[in-house]
Amino acid sequence: MAHTESKETGKIPEPTLRRLPWYLAFVKLLKGKGETFVSSTQIAKAINVDASRVAKDLSFVNISGKTRVGYEIDSLIAVLDEFLGFTTTHKTFLFGAGNLGGALLQDSGLKQYGLEIVAGFDIQESLVGKEINGIPVFHLDDFPALQSKYGATIGIITVPVEVAQSVADYIIKGGIRALWNFTPFRIRVPEGVVIQNTSMYSHLAVMFNRLQNY
Amino acid sequence: MAHTESKETGKIPEPTLRRLPWYLAFVKLLKGKGETFVSSTQIAKAINVDASRVAKDLSFVNISGKTRVGYEIDSLIAVLDEFLGFTTTHKTFLFGAGNLGGALLQDSGLKQYGLEIVAGFDIQESLVGKEINGIPVFHLDDFPALQSKYGATIGIITVPVEVAQSVADYIIKGGIRALWNFTPFRIRVPEGVVIQNTSMYSHLAVMFNRLQNY
């Protein structure tokens, strides 16, 4: 989709991108314990993947380890945090402030990972005009005005399934460039728009099934 | 892990299990529109997968379609809901009632999918003894007593990374049989215990990266 891809910002395999935050969490844990260096073998053991995979994954990141001692922990944390986008503030709107949406507004933890939810939107009279965890909830009709003000790039989709596609179309037209979709509906997006699905109900289904078969 | 596997409860491929809730969401949407039959081609088009894959996925479920008209929608919904475990109540404890944990307690929607959170646990004085969305939060030390009372099978893990493993070990010893892990820490579990990771921060990292490269 991108016309040019430099080596640094090139397409990193998604599995690598998914594993890097695990490494980061583990390395932060070591830092908390007073450690200063970590080897890929140590990370590999903790995360339960091959050491060669860890080294390969980390080769996408601009950091080099030293023979025998490994990576300097402070640098590794700083580099990973930045590389993963957690140090950049991403202005975000949330669409659908009901059960799950309202819950996500309550989660101040996302801000520490670079996701700043600046406003919520809904159409329910009981929600519009309210504040949840200090975040104002507006009527969906006010989205264009608020978008002019904030220029949000990310939209969290927690609306009912039956309106997921129409809300997505509406906000993409209005300038939202990435959707974090929590609904079980498969939203279609035009080329160049990012879609990230977090299917909590799919995870539930997998868990229930495994539980039944163990 | 299971010693015997009947055809009905045999190991279904995880990708199939993850897709079935998407089909279910779409079929419920059609029902809302007054439709009575759905073909695998229709589902395939909506979800953006091959029709043969949809038919294959649905072959794991005890339902058969009719030539030309497809599946009867009411039956398909009932069969999928039950097959996925959404109609069974799974008693669940939540560990770590802070940011994300507190948020999940607020989400009454999970109950409709068979996940009933009956109690939360924390060690923070400010949280212990409180109720969130009608769900009581107890001190972690009270877990054994509460487990005797409720016999919960699932534990949601939303504790800080540094205690994720120790809390997991503690509650598995106490009888919890499946962990729904929301921390970025890779928890290790003994054989026979189910672990389901929902790595929201990994999803964020993937989304941020794609956004940057589009």
CA A212, chain centre distance (Å): 30
Mean pLDDT in residue range B39-61: 93
| CB proximity A7 to B under 8 Å | no
The Cα-based distances of A83 to A20, A76, B56, B206 in angstroms read 10, 10, 40, 11
Is the pLDDT at B5 greater than 50? The verdict is: no
Query: Which CATH number, 3.20.20.70, 1.10.8.10, 3.40.50.720, 3.40.50.620, labels domain A90-203?
Result: 3.40.50.720
Q: Beta strands A178-181 and A194-197: pairing type? A: parallel
Mean pLDDT in residue range A34-46: 94
For B:92-131, CB contacts with A below 8 A are 98-100, 102-104, 106-110, 113-115
Q: For residues B86 and B113, is the Cβ–Cβ distance under 8 A?
A: yes
CA angle A156, A160, A161 (to 5 degrees): 95
Confidence of residue A64 (pLDDT cuts 50, 70, 90): confident
Q: What is the pLDDT of residues A160-170, one digit of tens each?
A: 999 999 999 99
For A:172-191, CB contacts with B below 8 A are 177-178, 180, 183-186, 188
User: A73-111 burial by CB neighbour count: b if 16+ within 10 A, else e?
Assistant: beebbebbbebbbbeeebebbbbbbbbbbbbbbbbbbbe
Q: What is the pLDDT of residues A92-131, one digit of tens each?
A: 999 999 989 998 998 888 999 999 999 999 999 999 999 9
Q: What is the pLDDT of residues B149-191, one digit of tens each?
A: 999 999 999 999 999 999 999 999 999 999 999 999 999 999 9
Residue of A nearest to B16 (CA): A206
Q: What is the pLDDT of residues B59-101, one digit of tens each?
A: 999 888 887 889 999 999 999 999 999 999 999 999 999 989 9
CA angle A113, A138, B182 (to 5 degrees): 30
The Cα-based distances of B87 to B26, B46, B82 in angstroms read 18, 25, 5
pLDDT for res B209:
93
pLDDT for res B66:
83
The Cα-based distances of B133 to B97, B117, B207 in angstroms read 12, 11, 31
pTM summary value:
0.89
CA distance, residue A104 to nearest chain B CA (Å): 6
Alpha-carbon distance of B19 to A209, in angstroms, equals 13
Helix-then-strand count for chain B, H and E: 8, 9
Is the pLDDT at A9 greater than 80? The verdict is: no
CA angle B169, A182, A2 (to 5 degrees): 110
Domain with CATH 3.40.50.720 in chain B: 90-203
Q: For residues A179 and A205, is the Cβ–Cβ distance under 8 A?
A: no
Share the mean pLDDT of chain A.
Answer: 92
Contact B188 A114 (CB under 8 A): no
Domain with CATH 1.10.10.10 in chain A: 9-83
Closest CA to A95 of A116, A72, A119: A119
Maximal CA-CA distance, chain B: 62
pLDDT for res A48:
87
State the count of interchain CB pairs (< 8 A) between A and B.
224
Strand order through the sheet with A135-139: A131-132, A135-139, A115-122, A90-95, A154-157, A178-181, A194-197
What ipTM does this complex have? 0.90
Q: Into which CATH architecture does domain A9-83 fall?
A: Orthogonal Bundle (1.10)
Q: For residues B207 and A195, is the Cβ–Cβ distance under 8 A?
A: no
Q: Between B172 and B199, where is the model more confident?
A: B172
